[in-house]
Amino acid sequence: MNFGIRFFISWILSAVVMFTLFYLWHGYFLNDFKRINFPLTWFVTFAACTYLIFGAGIYFLYESQPLKKIKSFIARGLFCGVIAGFSLFMISTIVNISLTKHLSINHLVVDCAWQVAEQTIGALVVVFFKIIIHEPVHENV
């Protein structure tokens, strides 16, 4: 795998887009940040680091050999986003289950749909920059 400008721009911008969506969803729409029991700056810092990891993970998943069998860039990006979003949903639900008293099926479905949508948008950012950024391939002489 080549760690050139295409990787770094795709990775960072997908992480920024997903973090922004996360912040708007949880911070403004759901007001979840009001229930945090430690400093908000810690939470935002940890979340930013987490989304950097998600962005890199999505890029690596997109570039993985099994997904390279999907020839369409867009279809591969969508599939990658669905895998990443559902995986994140499962992890966050397991971690959060002991902290939540009243989880309904509606809550779980909405949360799953949101995670899949958020990570799919992040994966499409990766696809977009993979398409528009040209990196010359150098011959090994």
Provide the pLDDT confidence category of residue 96 given band limits of 50, 70 and 90.
confident
Per-residue pLDDT, 101: 66
Write down the mean pLDDT value for the chain: 87
CB atoms within 10 A of CB 55: 26
Per-residue pLDDT, 32: 79
Element containing residue 44 per DSSP (H, E)? helix 40-62
CA distance 134 to 9: 12
Judge whether 33 and 42 are in contact, CB under 8 Å.
Answer: no
Q: At residue 138, does pLDDT exceed 70?
A: no
Q: At residue 136, does pLDDT exceed 80?
A: no
pTM: 0.84
Residues in the chain: 141
